[in-house]
Structure 1
Amino acid sequence: MTVPTILKSETAQCSEHGQYHKHLVESFIGDRIWQGCPRCQFDAVHSPDDAIYKPAAAVRDARDLNARLIASDIPLRFRKATLDNYQTITSPAQQAIALRQCRDYAQGFEANWNVGRSMMLLGGLGTGKTHLGCAIAQHAIREFRAVARYTSALSIIRDVKSTFAKDAELTETKIYEALSTPDLLIVDEVGVQNGSDFERQVLFETINSRYERLQPTIVISNLSILAMRKCLGDRVVDRLSDHDGPAVLFNWASARGEA
């Protein structure tokens, strides 16, 4: 589990346990959280008294959720993206369909995870694909305590290429293993790469290894389904479509720049 970044530390005094280091830590939603005496927190979550245990357990669970959300690598711009605040004003009827498909996938995540059902979000720039992809990831983390990770196709390719250096700290196997581990992987910006055989193979390895482990993947792309087949190959698209994995189409004008 990724530990939230410590932004500031101060020496503090606990009336019961004496001096301790108080930490100001990063919060996923943008504010900051002061963490109090760790021994007090430990004692409280092990208390037989519900009046003491329950609020302490709520604090513990909130910290765990915060750490899971930060570990998802959802970009700062999309940390507030939810299914409920997605705007359906550019093309209301079509957007409502896309939102419903994404909501159905998110609410049924446990069943989707059980069979390794993936998803594709396809369409033009500025149509809300990344918003909904990140919203699904957040829902899976918050409601199912899933481990979700956001990345981009270019980041995956760059990470694999970095293993070719003589002084590389990670191996190619380690990179693919890390990508195979999360319960849900969001791969954004598929199709903006150069389209080389090497890049196509890297993305195939990423998606196929997850497919074999029954781990769902959500692919986000500006390409059409036919262009996806040309870019990634039929094998990849077929794996993403297995078990009726939905392809959600975002065929409306960009909302960027609108009030």
Structure 2
Amino acid sequence: MHDSRLEAIASYRDAFPHITPLITDWSAHENQGADSFHAIKETLGILATTDQAIPLRYKRADATDPQVLAWIDELVEGASPARVSGVRKVSTGPSLLLLGPTGTGKTFQGYGAIRRLSILGVNASPSAAPIADIYAKMRPRHQVDSEEVFESYAHTPLLFADDLGAAKTSEWVEEVNMRLVNYRYDRQLPTIFTSNVPPKELGAKIGERVASRLIEMCRTVVLKGDDRRRQGRAA
């Protein structure tokens, strides 16, 4: 069982050999006072859970933008080691706002950031979805607890909300945006947001109160370039 878990971990990491995991020498990990058995089990769980959170099109996504990599470094530095396993866990930290025209790689960088954290062996327990899907799941209807759905996204340690500002504006959408952003803003929960909305138009599109919080809580990265989708690459 121990060997099979190590092989499974290696299979995930071999696809990204340029990323150096934080835990590579399990014996040394044990010598530092942590439990290698639990560390191996937890690390495999991190890799498997993250893989399930990433859509098929973005399975090979990798963060490459220097500012995105710097944000990842901040999260890693602020992550605390678990008491038994010693595996680092994300709890609080800065958020990330990826802006730019359609097809410039915002979603690719977002999923790449989530992937890189897992390869590093950091437990971020990510939840990822286009913002339109979050709205759809939250819409009041029979046998759906909208508040429970909201809390599942609000409480997640690392949330990736893709394509903010793309949905048609309504009072209900503005309320969801405000509640979700404000909840994570107040608790300093790291969140990845992407948006096609130009920086100067963000307040008009999603509301000034939401935009103000985003600017304060996020490391903002503006991506430029041609539409990658038209060139046959994921964006």
Q: Could you say whether these structures have the same fold, taking a TM-score greater than 0.5 normalized by the shorter chain as the test?
A: yes
1:106 to 66, 72, 79: 72
Q: 2:222 matched to 1:222?
A: no
1:157 to 135, 139, 164: 135
Q: Which amino acid aligns with 1:152?
A: P
Q: Tell me how far 1:141 sits from its aligned partner.
A: 3.0
Q: 2:49 matched to 1:68?
A: yes
Within 2, Cα distance between the matches of 1:58 and 1:205?
36
Point out 4+ residue stretches in structure 1 off by more than 6 angstroms: 54-59
2:126 is matched with 148
1:15-164 to structure 2, matched below 5 A, reads 60-61=41-42, 63-71=44-52, 73-83=53-63, 99-111=65-77, 116-143=93-120, 144-161=122-139, 164=140
1:225-240 to structure 2, matched below 5 A, reads 225-240=199-214
Within 2, Cα distance between the matches of 1:157 and 1:240?
19
User: TM-score, normalization: structure 2?
Assistant: 0.71
1:254 is matched with 227
Q: Tell me how far 1:57 sits from its aligned partner.
A: 6.5
Q: 2:161 matched to 1:211?
A: no
1:118 and 1:242 in contact (8 A); partners too: no
Q: Tell me how far 1:209 sits from its aligned partner.
A: 1.2
Q: Which amino acid aligns with 2:70?
A: D
1:87 is matched with none
Specify the SS of the correspondent of 1:182. coil
Within 1, Cα distance between the matches of 2:178 and 2:54?
23
1:202 is matched with 176
Within 2, Cα distance between the matches of 1:79 and 1:127?
18
Q: Which amino acid aligns with 1:100?
A: P
Q: Tell me how far 1:101 sits from its aligned partner.
A: 0.4
Within 1, Cα distance between the matches of 2:204 and 2:132?
18
Structure 1 residues without counterparts, runs of 5 or longer = 1-26, 32-53, 84-97
Q: Tell me how far 1:146 sits from its aligned partner.
A: 1.4
Higher strand share: 1
Structure 2 residues without counterparts, runs of 5 or longer = 1-7, 13-34, 80-90
Specify the SS of the correspondent of 1:149. strand
CA separation of 1:116 and 1:58: change in aligned 2, threshold 3 A: closer
1:115 and 1:214 in contact (8 A); partners too: yes
Q: Which amino acid aligns with 2:220?
A: A
1:156-195 to structure 2, matched below 5 A, reads 156-161=134-139, 164-168=140-144, 171-195=145-169
Bigger RCO of structures 1 and 2 (CA < 8 A, at least 6 apart):
2
Output one character per residue of 1:88-120: Cα deviation in whole Å (capped at 9) or x when no partner.
Answer: xxxxxxxxxx81100100121145676542121
Specify the SS of the correspondent of 2:54. coil
Specify the SS of the correspondent of 2:213. helix
Q: Which amino acid aligns with 2:44?
A: R
2:174 and 2:206 in contact (8 A); partners too: yes
CA separation of 1:215 and 1:62: change in aligned 2, threshold 3 A: closer
Within 2, Cα distance between the matches of 1:59 and 1:118?
28
Q: How many residues were matched structurally? A: 192
Q: Percent identity?
A: 23
Q: CA RMSD in A?
A: 3.0
